[in-house]
Amino acid sequence: MDNTILKIDHISISFPGVKALDDVTFDIARGTVHGLVGENGAGKSTLIKILAGIYSAESGAILLNGQPVKFKTPHEAQSAGISVVHQEFKLSEPLTVTENIFLGRLLYKRGLVDWKAMKRKAREMLAELDINIEVDEIVSSLSVAKKQIVEICKAININASILIMDEPSATLTVKEQEIMFNIIRKLNKEGMTVIYISHRLEEVFNLTKNVTVLRDGKHVETLPTLQVDRKKLISLMVGRELVSEYPKEKIAIGEILLEVKSLSRKGVLEDINFHVRKGEILGFAGLVGSGRTETARAVLGIDKIDAGEITWKGRRITHGSFKQAIKNGLGLVPEDRKQQGLVQILSVKENISMVNMKKIITGGIVRPALEDSRGREYVDKLRIMTPSLETQAQYLSGGNQQKVVIAKWLMQNSDIIFMDEPTRGVDVGAKVEIYMLMNELIRQGKAIVMISSELPEILGMSDRIMVMHEGKIVGHLKREEATQEAIMSLCV
């Protein structure tokens, strides 16, 4: 008996300037967790959108339970039992948990909405997942992890037989991730087929039975997860062997550029002390909510401080605003690149030049030729994959969007760049390219403050590590003495 629940059969689709999927064929076995991996731009999201009824393939077929299907709308895909938990939540935040779970699928009794039945069913679903969330809570008041669970309940409420999860762990803490993994295992044990997409390969090895690799829109290989190791999987994804995932270069570290003393912000930060040297990558580790991002925002003048002293190149300064910090030579690659790092509807070249307009203005007028040449310089230097300089930032892959944000600060020639989760949502190949850019920056005598929730990244790329917990710095580790165990014991 054929155990295939879903067959992707010679699927192809193109967009202007790019072949997104090129003759992709593979099977997904019923009742398994199936990994889908590949670099940014490999075609994963496009394939998911075809399965979800958002896009229509130009050629090829989708077979569900052996029968060809062609979904024209997401509603048709859901009616057939395919549901998607997107990386960016599709929740209505002003509504309650119950209202979100039953959005578009209300229950009725004698012509009236049956709130009692919906709340009862919502409680049963949450109880089955061993999660304690009040069904009358407003979704906007929930943590990211609880919103994720509401999204999962909403997805399975359509009686889905296939659940597609797109980067579901990207914004979760370690503890929250484990809760979500347990939910996936529970759903799978009950017969649900799960397609799991993630750049975090340890999750793929931890959860999946089979894994499919896409590269440049083509199917590379589908094989049992147990038959492949991390090195081989990365090689299949990037099309070459990576010598090292964390290519940290040892650079001569110079004088102190930035020193922070006794920085405090009531209820948020308490007595923060650290310094950053020329040619150094200073890592900040800690659980989500430990105060790492808040420390960066306070130093950069984005958030006001109640007390503390900031010394820049030996001179005491006060950053009354982020604009002043930029003038002093500091930059920020923010945690949320889409909301804070880029203007999505502006072009690649406009995003690159927006912090340093004086370099493309003469006589009070923006010179398009200058903007083009500057934009092209950094697109080439950072190997930003874009159809053109005019392409809007929103149409680039995550890794290339991140490179545009970094390019902005390279053009500004910042002396210190704060990088908050610099490789979140970025594939392993693009990660290495970003690490190489970091090496290049410190080779030039600049410095980087790197905030990351990924301990291998912190350990692999930092010269020194500051560990935070509940708004305080609770540990300072040198590279040679730092281990995951030492950092986690300080984090908690």
CATH number of the domain residue 206 falls in: 3.40.50.300
Residue 226 and residue 267 in one domain: no
Identify the domain boundary among 238, 270, 300: 238
Helix (H) or strand (E) holding 189: helix 174-189
Residue 231 and residue 273 in one domain: no
pTM here is: 0.72
Q: pLDDT grade, residue 266 (50/70/90)? A: very high
Number of domains the chain contains: 2
Mean pLDDT, the chain, as a whole number?
89
Q: What is the DSSP string of 81-118?
A: TEEEE-SS----TTSBHHHHHTTT---EETTEE-HHHH
219: pLDDT strictly greater than 90: yes
Residue 187 and residue 331 in one domain: no
pLDDT score recorded for residue 164? 94
Is residue 246 a part of any domain in this protein?
Answer: no
Residue 175 and residue 79 in one domain: yes
**Average pLDDT for 20-29:** 95
Residue 271 and residue 415 in one domain: yes
Is residue 36 a part of any domain in this protein?
Answer: yes
**Average pLDDT for 74-99:** 88
331: pLDDT strictly greater than 90: yes
397: pLDDT strictly greater than 80: no
Residue 68 and residue 197 in one domain: yes
pLDDT score recorded for residue 1? 46
- 16, two tokens: 């202007």
Is residue 373 a part of any domain in this protein?
Answer: yes
103: pLDDT strictly greater than 70: yes
pLDDT score recorded for residue 171? 65
Residue 43 and residue 120 in one domain: yes
Q: For 304-326, how does the pLDDT look when each residue is reduced to its tens digit (9 = 90+)?
A: 999 999 999 989 988 778 989 99
Q: List the one residue out of 436, 401, 26 whose CA is nearest residue 248.
A: 436
Is residue 249 a part of any domain in this protein?
Answer: no
Q: For 139-149, how does the pLDDT look when each residue is reduced to its tens digit (9 = 90+)?
A: 988 877 788 88
Its domain, for residue 457, covers 256-491
Residue 163 and residue 286 in one domain: no
Residue 299 and residue 334 in one domain: yes
Is residue 243 a part of any domain in this protein?
Answer: no
Q: Residue by residue, what is the 3-state secondary structure of 219-268?
A: EEEEEEHHHCCHHHHHHHHHCCCCCCCCCCCCCCCCCEEEEEEEEEECCC
Is residue 427 a part of any domain in this protein?
Answer: yes
pLDDT score recorded for residue 94? 92
pLDDT score recorded for residue 402? 87
Q: Point out the least confidently predicted range of 8-12, 99-103, 229-233, 285-289.
A: 285-289
Is residue 394 a part of any domain in this protein?
Answer: yes
**Average pLDDT for 209-213:** 97
Alpha-carbon span 99 to 103, nearest angstrom: 6
Q: For 431-474, how does the pLDDT look when each residue is reduced to its tens digit (9 = 90+)?
A: 888 899 899 999 999 999 999 988 889 999 999 999 999 999 99
Residue 226 and residue 281 in one domain: no
Alpha-carbon span 156 to 122, nearest angstrom: 11
Is residue 247 a part of any domain in this protein?
Answer: no
Residue 471 and residue 419 in one domain: yes
Residue 160 and residue 272 in one domain: no
- 468, two tokens: 């935070």
